Amino acid sequence: MTWLNAVLQGVLLGGIFAMAAAGLSLIFGVMRIANLAHGDLMIVGGYLASATATHYGLPVPLAVLLSMIAVGALGYLVQRTMLDRAIALGELAPMLVTFGISVIIPNTLVQVFSNDAQPLSIGSLGTASLELGGGLSIGWFPLISVVAAVALLAVLHLFLHRTQSGRIVRATADDRAIVRLMGVDNRRVYALTSVIAFASVSLAGSLYTMRQGGVTPYEGQLTVLFAFETVIIGGLGSLWGTLAGGMVLGVAQTVGAQISPDLPLLAGHVVFLLILVFRPQGLFGRSVLT
């Protein structure tokens, strides 16, 4: 029963990983950019939600929504002012831009907020649990996180498949040259993609901050690693594969923790390497966003 509980907790942890990786998968699928600042943007989302809730007394849901809007707007600004120009220079330039952003963000957070952890309290919800019987229980907040991750991926799926803008995004991911010949401005597609990806990672950052009890400036260096591993395990370009990848990584970490407190991160990395060696396209790798 102890092992079953570890697996169950890993599935719940995977919801956070999947939500964190959704935006990364979207940006890579459409623009072929490995966003090295993704984890730091996630931390920015947590900081903004914490600051608005703590210092201005706003309800947590409203603080999270404002954080998503602010980080989404930042995504539009970054795309139009930096990434559009970098994409025109070659494949390496956009990655260097995101690397520069990943260096700037934590140092800026230290200057503004110091190194102290910034909490985002959710009260009793953080410790409340649902008893399943037989010694099994799940926390209400981790369960809410998984539901939120599934809802986010479902909304992105419906957007990509049921709306005109979404179909254009998918077409751009498949063949940007053909889309340009049809009169579509790639820069607008990229800007829309960045807004969605940045807003979703902000939501993931807020939930991560709630789960951890607080967030510090340099945690983005670890969360970006989890996000990349989740995307690669699930398969590049597959949104639902991202959910599966997050759960595989989460289960690997919690089972590793069950074996030894020193093994969670190593176990996740080992599973990632095994997937990379034996199935490099990932569990659900596709050529376009699905």
- 15-to-187, 207, 227 alpha-carbon distances in Å: 31, 10, 12
Residue type at position 212 = Q
Residues near 234 by Cβ (< 8 Å), separated by ≥ 6?
18, 21, 25, 240, 241, 242, 243, 244, 245, 246, 248, 282, 283, 284
Residue 91: the pLDDT is: 82
CB atoms under 10 Å from CB of 232, counted, come to 23
Q: Read off the pLDDT of residues 181-200 as tens digits, 9 standing for 90 and up.
A: 788 888 899 999 999 999 99
- Least reliable range by pLDDT among 154-168, 229-243, 265-279: 229-243
Q: Read off the pLDDT of residues 83-109 as tens digits, 9 standing for 90 and up.
A: 999 988 888 899 999 999 999 999 999
CB contact burial 106-115 (16+ within 10 A = b; e otherwise): beebeeebee
Residue type at position 267 = A
Q: Read off the pLDDT of residues 242-272 as tens digits, 9 standing for 90 and up.
A: 999 999 999 999 999 888 888 888 999 999 9
**Phi-psi sector, 213: left (phi>0), alpha (psi -120 to 50), beta:** left
Specify the higher pLDDT residue, 287 or 159. Answer: 159
CB contact burial 192-203 (16+ within 10 A = b; e otherwise): bbbbbbbbbbbb
Q: Please classify residue 187 by burial: count the beta carbons closer than 10 Å to its beta carbon, then call 0-12 exposed, 13-18 middle and 19+ buried.
A: middle
65 close to 207: Cβ distance less than 8 angstroms: no
The C-alpha atoms of residue 274 and residue 278 are separated, in whole angstroms, by 6
The pTM assigned to this predicted structure is 0.90
The C-alpha atoms of residue 44 and residue 70 are separated, in whole angstroms, by 10
Fold of 2-123+138-278: ABC transporter involved in vitamin B12 uptake, BtuC (1.10.3470)
The C-alpha atoms of residue 215 and residue 118 are separated, in whole angstroms, by 5
37 close to 74: Cβ distance less than 8 angstroms: no
Q: What is the mean pLDDT of the chain?
A: 89
Structural domain boundaries in the chain: 2-123+138-278
